[in-house]
């Protein structure tokens, strides 16, 4: 690591790890509630749990992206961040807004709009926070010696992500319009601009870990993010089938969203090809595991499991069931969770100057969390298919269906336990490295 | 072979073209079609207040509506049609958690007025044209009925 200001990334990564653990806790609360154990109901009513689970998810991923940007941009631009105190301020304000939002959820202070539960007044603080972040990144890039494709794609993704947050803040009286714009945030984030961020971070990691020529990697980066937008923008239509919007979206959404896996397939093939091609054997093999892992699992979770319910005739029956939750888990984990953990795994030894990546814990963390998550996905799939058939196809009552699904939640909890052991090991490992040191500068 | 410049043009060109198409379609959907399909003329003050109450209490944190939300409690799109006004009123106004089949709802103990607004909102949602959602159970007729 060359630039001292890159050390700020450590704080964002630490926040990511802590919030991930907290997110998982709420996952267990929901899984037990689905089994009939809702002892916490008076303290944490069920609806507080998904709001917390999903918002913590978004915040730890965003915190990971921000940490990644603070680490990558100085390195790519060959320039220190323009201001470390400002970056620290941005970090603390992010952490505080996140904590206040989560506490608010437990006090009935929220908006019941899935993924966008943060109440409007806090939204404005989020906007200010993100503007500050973008200012630091863009100015650093501006003043830097180089503006590489990797850094531009990453920055463009972050900028667009901020812009797309805004339509989610408009108030509509009509539920359909409300939902229409909710998808501008949720869909155009995960199946659009976040893929730019993913592409940028992935390209950076591949350049560093495989030693393949930058020009080759960056050319394919453009192709992949091109595919993302060509399919993903109109692919938004797969959320406009059954919410009071016209029928032409069935056709448009069906066709374009069915092409969305191409971008993820592109990322997987790209990562594997660069891995094969690379001559360098970077000592941090576990970071390479995460990097190849994110490219492959995102294709399975987002690409394959996404396309599984994206055609209108299928989605008619699976819309709003545990089939959606099955896909949501593996997609988020594969594309963005593993990506952030991969970035942390790559950057931590460089920031701290210690090389714990040969410790067995790092390897167990990788395998346990992934095997656990695949088990969870399978449990959600079993629950989802049961629900679709009993409730939607046969017409059984809601609660009778839920009772028939209970066994799958037992399996979910078992698999989630494996997953959690992996994540706990990951976070412990991260903290074992200690804080960044100045001795680590230059040495890498 | 594709050059890096061509790849960049593919990315920028594709993005701009498809984003413009998307904007055009969105405008058509929102300005022309949604008002018709959702009976926007029936968005009375009561319906709008109902939506606010629905939002404020994060009902979507347990239920789905138009297929969106959480999966802990029943789909509400057709709740008005399925359960009727009196039933919904009881659920919203009782002071103990509503749990006829074991799974607890939050006891909102709403005022008469608030409950009526939420019910008006649910009635409005139920009347929107959702292109056939929620589906009719298509396998029900195939379940054999044992002869007595
Ligand atoms: C990394 C990328 C992706 C992530 C993180 C992701 C995540 C999610 C999440 C969390 C939901 C539920 C949203 C809500 O109800 O508010 C969802 C819904 C959906 N996703 Fe994805 N997704 C990704 C990519 C894809 C792709 C590539 C496809 C299609 C090929 C797809 C198809 C769908 C469909 C059809 C739904 C709607 C399900 C329903 O009707 O209930 N997703 N996705
Ligand atoms: C111990 C681990 C976890 C458990 C037990 C768990 C459990 C659950 C449950 C039961 C729900 C559905 C609640 C409902 O609507 O009734 C849910 C929703 C969700 N979880 Fe998790 N979760 C865990 C970890 C994760 C992780 C690591 C991620 C992301 C990487 C994640 C992402 C999501 C998302 C996006 C949803 C919303 C899905 C949708 O509504 O379609 N969860 N989780
Ligand atoms: Fe989507």
Give A190-208 pLDDT, tens digit per residue. 999 999 999 999 999 999 9
Task: Note down the domain range covering B82.
Answer: 40-128
pLDDT at site A153: 97
Closest CA to A348 of A393, A301, A286: A286
pLDDT tens digit sequence for A37-77: 999 998 999 999 999 999 999 999 999 999 999 999 999 99
Indicate the pLDDT class of residue A1, thresholds 50, 70 and 90.
confident
**Residue B112 belongs to some domain of the structure:** yes
Q: Do the Cβ atoms of A395 and B34 come within 8 Å?
A: no
pLDDT at B100: 86
- Asked whether residue A134 is assigned to any structural domain, the reply reads yes
Q: Is the CB of A328 under 6 A from ligand 2?
A: yes
Of A48, A319, A398, the CB nearest to B67: A319
Task: Please count the structural domains in chain B.
Answer: 2
Per-residue pLDDT tens digits for A282-321: 999 999 999 999 999 999 999 999 999 999 999 999 999 9
> Does residue B46 sit in the same domain as residue B99?
yes
Partner residue facing B101 (CB), from A46, A243, A399:
A399
Say whether both B46 and B33 belong to one domain: no
Contact B68 A246 (CB under 8 A): no
pLDDT of residue A89: 98
Partner-chain contact A45 B51, CB within 8 Å? no
Residue in A180, A236, A308, A327 to alter for ligand 1 test, most ligand atoms within 8 A of Cβ: A327
pLDDT of residue A443: 52
Domains of chain A: total: 1
Mutate to test the pocket of ligand 1, among A307, A328, A384 (most ligand atoms within 8 A of CB): A328
Tell me, yes or no, whether B147 lies in a domain.
no
* Pair B44, B103 in one domain: yes
* Low-confidence residues in chain B, pLDDT < 70: 148
CATH number at residue A301: 1.20.210.10
Which chain A residue has its CA at the smallest distance from B15's CA? A229
Each residue of A141-164: pLDDT tens digit? Answer: 999 999 999 999 999 999 999 999
Q: Give the number of the ligand closest to the Cα of residue B74.
A: 2
**Confidence (pLDDT) at A360:** 85
The answer to whether position B24 is within a domain reads yes
Shared domain check, B117 and B55 = yes
Statement to judge: residues B97 and B114 lie in one domain: yes
Q: What is the CATH number of the domain that holds B67?
A: 1.10.760.10
- Flag whether A220 is in a domain: yes
Per the prediction, chain A carries an average pLDDT of 96
Residues B55 and B106 in one domain: yes
Ligand 2 neighbour A338 (Cβ under 6 A): no
Judged by DSSP in three states, B26 sits in helix
Q: Are residues B67 and B103 in the same domain?
A: yes
Q: Within a domain: residue A247?
A: yes
Which residue out of B5, B11, B79 would a mutagenesis test of the A interface target, given it has the greatest number of A Cβ atoms within 10 Å? Answer: B11
Question: Is residue B22 within 6 Å of ligand 2 at its C-beta?
Answer: no
Question: Three-class SS of residue A173?
Answer: coil
CA distances (Å), origin A325, targets A30, A171, A244, A280, A378: 12, 27, 22, 39, 11
Inside any domain, residue A444: no
Could you tell me the distance, in angstroms and rounded to a whole number, from the CA of residue A79 to the centre of ligand 1? 38
B26 and B46 both lie in a single domain: no
Is residue B141 a part of any domain in this protein? no
Q: How far is the CA of B71 from the centre of ligand 1 (A)?
A: 15
B3 in a structural domain: no
Q: Considering chain A, what percentage of its residues have pLDDT values greater than 70?
A: 100
pTM over 0.90: yes
Distance of CA A336 from the midpoint of ligand 2 (Å): 14
Helix (H, G, I), strand (E, B) or coil at A384: helix
pLDDT at residue A444, rounded to an integer: 47
Q: How far is B127 from chain A (nearest CA, A)?
A: 10
The answer to whether A216 touches B2, Cβ cutoff 8 Å, is: no
Q: Which residues of A touch B28 (CB under 8 A)?
A: 246
- Burial of residue A444 (CB within 10 Å: 0-12, 13-18, 19+) is exposed
Distance CA A347, CA A2 (A): 12
Mean pLDDT of A417-433: 97
| pLDDT, tens only, A228-274 | 999 999 999 999 999 999 999 999 999 999 999 999 999 999 999 99
- 3-state SS assignment for residue B121: helix
Tell whether B100 and B53 lie within a shared domain: yes
Residue A26, pLDDT score: 98
Pick from A38, A50, A230: CB nearest B61: A50
Q: Find chain A residues with C-beta within 8 A of B130's C-beta.
A: 242-244
Residue A180 · residue A111 · CB < 8 Å: no
* pLDDT of A442 above 90: no
B83 within domain boundaries: yes
- B45 and B111 share one domain: yes
Asked if residue B135 belongs to a domain, the reply is no
Distance from the CA of A306 to the center of ligand 1, in angstroms?
6
Q: Which residue does chain B place closest to A193, by CA atoms?
A: B15
Q: How many whole angstroms separate alpha carbon A45 and alpha carbon A103? A: 13
Residue A132 is predicted with a pLDDT of: 98
List the single best residue of A102, A222, A391 to mutate versus B (max B Cβ within 10 A).
Answer: A222
Together in a domain, B102 and B55: yes
Residue B148 lies in a domain: no
Which ipTM did the prediction report? 0.96
B57/B123 same-domain check:
yes
Residue of A nearest to B103 (CA): A36
For A106-142, write each residue's pLDDT tens digit.
999 999 999 999 999 999 999 999 999 999 999 999 9
Residues A283 and A209: their CA atoms lie apart, in Å, by 9
Provide the token pair at A372.
């656990």
- The protein residue whose alpha carbon is closest to atom 21 in ligand 1 is A306
> What is the chain B residue with the closest CA to A35?
B103
Task: Count CB pairs under 8 A between chains A and B.
Answer: 202
Instruction: Transcribe B57-118 into DSSP letters.
Output: TTGGGT-EETTEE-SSS---TTHHHHH-HHHHHHHHH-SS---TTSPPPP-----HHHHHHH
Confidence (pLDDT) at A357? 77
Residue A169 lies in domain? 4-439
């Amino acid at each position: 690591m060359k630039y001292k200001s890159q050390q700020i990334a450590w704080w964002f990564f630490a926040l990511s790890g802590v919030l991930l653990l907290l997110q998982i806790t709420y996952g267990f609360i929901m899984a037990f509630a689905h089994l009939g154990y809702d002892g916490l109901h008076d303290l944490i009513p069920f609806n507080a749990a998904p709001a917390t689970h999903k918002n913590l998810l978004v915040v730890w991923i965003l915190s990971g992206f921000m940490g990644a940007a603070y680490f990558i941009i100085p390195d790519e631009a060959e320039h220190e961040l323009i201001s470390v105190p400002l970056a620290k301020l941005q970090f603390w304000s992010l952490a505080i807004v996140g904590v206040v939002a989560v506490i608010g959820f437990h006090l009935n202070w929220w908006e019941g709009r899935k993924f966008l539960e943060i109440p409007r007044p806090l939204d404005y603080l989020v906007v200010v926070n993100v503007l500050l972040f973008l200012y630091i990144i863009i100015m650093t890039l501006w003043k830097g010696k180089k503006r590489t494709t990797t850094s531009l794609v990453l920055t463009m993704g972050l900028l667009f992500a901020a812009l797309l947050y805004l339509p989610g803040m408009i108030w509509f009286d009509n539920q359909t319009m409300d939902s229409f714009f909710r998808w501008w945030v949720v869909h155009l984030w995960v199946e659009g601009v976040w893929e730019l961020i993913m592409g940028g971070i992935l390209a950076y990691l591949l350049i560093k870990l495989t030693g393949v020529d930058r020009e080759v990697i960056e050319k394919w980066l453009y192709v992949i993010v091109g595919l993302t937008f060509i399919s993903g923008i109109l692919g938004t239509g797969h959320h406009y089938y059954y919410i009071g919007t016209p029928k032409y979206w069935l056709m448009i959404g069906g066709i374009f969203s069915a092409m969305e896996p191409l971008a993820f397939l592109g990322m997987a093939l790209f990562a594997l090809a660069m891995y094969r091609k690379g001559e360098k054997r970077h000592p941090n093999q576990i970071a390479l595991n995460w990097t190849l892992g994110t490219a492959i699992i995102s294709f399975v979770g987002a690409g394959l499991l996404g396309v599984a319910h994206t055609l209108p005739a299928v989605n008619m029956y699976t819309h709003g069931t545990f089939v959606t939750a099955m896909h949501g888990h593996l997609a988020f984990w594969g594309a963005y969770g593993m990506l952030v953990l991969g970035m942390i795994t790559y950057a931590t030894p460089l920031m701290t100057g210690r090389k714990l990546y040969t410790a067995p814990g790092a390897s167990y963390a990788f395998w346990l969390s992934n095997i656990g998550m695949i088990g969870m996905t399978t449990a959600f799939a079993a629950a989802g298919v049961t629900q679709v058939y009993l409730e939607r196809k046969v017409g059984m009552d809601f609660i009778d269906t839920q009772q028939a699904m209970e066994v799958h939640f037992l399996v979910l909890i078992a698999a989630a336990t494996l997953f959690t052991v992996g994540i706990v090991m990951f976070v412990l490992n991260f903290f074992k490295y200690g804080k960044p040191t100045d001795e680590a500068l230059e040495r890498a | 072979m594709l050059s890096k410049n061509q790849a960049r043009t593919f990315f920028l060109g594709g993005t701009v073209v498809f984003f413009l198409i998307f904007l055009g379609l969105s405008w058509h959907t929102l300005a022309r079609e949604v008002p018709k399909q959702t009976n926007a003329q029936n968005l009375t003050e009561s319906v709008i207040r109902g939506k606010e109450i629905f939002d404020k209490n994060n009902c979507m944190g347990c239920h789905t509506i138009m297929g969106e939300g959480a999966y802990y409690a029943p789909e509400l799109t057709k709740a008005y049609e399925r359960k009727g006004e009196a039933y919904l009123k009881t659920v919203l106004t009782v002071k103990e958690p509503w749990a006829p089949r074991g799974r607890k709802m939050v006891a909102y103990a709403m005022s008469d007025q608030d409950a009526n607004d939420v019910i008006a909102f649910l009635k409005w949602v139920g009347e929107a044209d959702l292109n056939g959602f929620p589906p009719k159970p298509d396998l029900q007729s195939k379940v054999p009925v044992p002869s007595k």
